[in-house]
Amino acid sequence: MERGLNAFRLKSIAVIAMVINHFAHVFVLLPVDREVMNVLLTVMNAVGKLTIPIMCFFVAEGYYHTRNLKKYLARMFIFAAVSQIPFYLFEHGIPSGIDDLMNNITHLNVIYSLAMGLLALTIWKSEGLPVLLKILLVAAAAFLTKTADWRIFAVLWIIAFAESRGDFKKQAAAFTVLAAVRVCVYYVMGAMPAVSIKTVILQSCTVFALIPLYFYNGRLGRKTKYGFYIFYPAHLLVFAVIILLIQGV
């Protein structure tokens, strides 16, 4: 019997956590007692925080395992583009007009953030480039995710996982420090909708993703080259349709 968790199992955990988190968008529209709903929504959002660290970890792993980095980059950006319409419909619904569309059109999906993270990592690992230029280009890549899901920090987490690859303690420490910085920065910038101890704790739940990652055994498991990339826009589209039906649009 295989010990630990292989890549397929870890990615499955990330996908399940993502679905639970996204289901909250549907759940909030159901006729459920408000107090019960608030508790369950908090739990769903907390569980959802497991997804991005696991996906960042495997983007970093993918950098080292891919046979063709250019195709890997192209695949991620293509699926980011494919996912944008389902993502928009899920997050914002059908636009009521051009102004509504333009106000939300720059809100980009998480695959875009992951793709920019992979691009930043590729730049960071490039030989022959001056260190200062690498830092500037990586900073530019991170800045270009400022309107996307998990903006900036998805890029930094990918690089942190890659730089400490092979030493989980260093990976965990780097990730945790960046997670703490994220919470502090968002607090200072007022990016959190309602800054409170509850909010800070909720946003800090990303660190719990380190628990399943600790058990990663380095094995691939079942091969699903395009599984996540297809599932991501597909499940967003399904949820978007359900939400529209409930709202009677």
User: Does residue 18 form part of some domain?
Assistant: yes
| pLDDT value, residue 99 | 84
Domain-embedded: residue 51: yes
Using a 10 angstrom Cβ sphere, with 0-12 exposed, 13-18 middle and 19 or more buried, the burial of residue 68 is: exposed
Asked if the structure places residue 2 within a domain, the reply is no
User: Which residue range is the domain that position 17 belongs to?
Assistant: 7-247
Domain count, the chain: 1
**Does residue 131 belong to any structural domain of this protein?**
yes
User: What local confidence, expressed as pLDDT, does residue 194 receive?
Assistant: 52
Structural domain contains residue 108: yes
34 domain-assigned = yes
Contact between 63 and 123 (Cβ < 8 Å): no
| Tokens found for residue 213 | 């990652």
Q: What is the pLDDT of residue 196?
A: 66
pTM: 0.92
Residue at 118: amino acid letter? L
Whether 50 is in a domain gets the answer: yes
Asked whether residue 1 is assigned to any structural domain, the reply reads no
* Sequential pLDDT tens for the chain (249 residues): 568 999 999 999 999 999 999 999 998 888 888 888 889 999 999 999 999 999 999 999 999 999 999 999 999 999 999 999 999 999 999 988 888 888 889 999 999 999 999 999 999 999 989 999 999 999 999 999 999 999 899 999 999 999 999 999 999 999 999 999 988 876 666 554 555 677 778 888 999 999 999 999 999 888 877 888 899 999 999 999 999 999 876
Residue type for position 145: T
